[in-house]
Chain A
Amino acid sequence: DIQMTQSPSSLSASVGDRVTITCRASQGISTYLNWFQQKPGKAPKLLIYAASSLQSGVPSRFSGSGSGTDFTLTISSLQPEDFATYYCQQSFSTPQTFGQGTKVEIK
């Protein structure tokens, strides 16, 4: 299985901050990388697919980059509704696997 490792596991930030979350794959996955946002008690919501494509309806302050083994999710200006847990997920090979999550908390 391909292991997905996110860093940091949690972070504290203020509204308006630029936030960067990193995801590393245990082997090369090209750009078969998706990002999800999950709020407590809710299903994950797709933000970014194919490493850098913004899902329809998702604010443009979210962006993704990377290829191979190293990927980044960036929130350019953190908003109150962005406090949540973020997961990366690889769809390069079966079984599809997720990172352990990064919790973004209010500073």
Chain B
Amino acid sequence: QVQLQESGPGLVKPSETLSLTCTVSGGSIGTYYWSWIRQPPGKGLEWIGYVYYTGSTNYNPSLKSRVTISVDTSKTQFSLKLSSVAAADTAVYYCARHRAYCSGGSCYDYFDYWGQGTLVTVSS
């Protein structure tokens, strides 16, 4: 059974960089895309970006200038860095695995495994 676990500081000061790591166990990190998704308290879900096991990335344009996602296949981990944080970045941060279902020439992408989430608060 694949498991994902987020780790990192729960409190970050404004203007500093938020850094989180997701450790994957029970399965390979190879051949999959891996995403970060966040949810402000009491609000909806926002996709931040993904990394492929090769290291290629794709980010949400709304956060692109501040986001870096990387992968370390030897440690079966991938990481998120979000710079210049503000109070609006306070959220539960989830890591998740992409899975693709292919049928009739089309491939449908979905998040099949998620971490439990970690609350990051931006405050001085």
Contact = CB atoms under 8 A, between A and B. Distances in A.
Interface of A: 1, 30-32, 34, 36, 42-46, 49-50, 53, 55, 87, 89, 91, 94-101
A46 B44 contact: no
B44 A91 contact: no
Contacts of B99: 49
B111 interface: yes
Q: Which bracket fits the contact residues of B? A: 20 to 34
Given A95-B47, A98-B46, A46 B108 contact: no
B47 A32 contact: no
Contacts of A32: 108-109
B62 A46 contact: no
A34 B114 contact: no
B115 A34 contact: no
Nearest to A32: B108
Contacts of B112: 46, 55
Contacts of A34: 110-111
Given A43-B114, A50-B101, A53-B101, A97 B108 contact: no
A55 B111 CA distance: 11
Nearest to A85: B44
Nearest to B115: A43
A87 B60 CA distance: 19
Interface of B: 44-47, 58, 60-62, 94, 96, 99, 101, 103, 106, 108-112, 114-117
Given A46-B111, A49-B108, A50-B101, A95 B45 contact: no
23 contacts: A32-B108, A32-B109, A34-B110, A34-B111, A42-B117, A43-B114, A43-B117, A45-B114, A49-B101, A49-B110, A50-B108, A50-B110, A91-B108, A94-B58, A95-B60, A95-B62, A96-B47, A96-B109, A97-B47, A98-B44, A98-B45, A98-B46, A100-B44
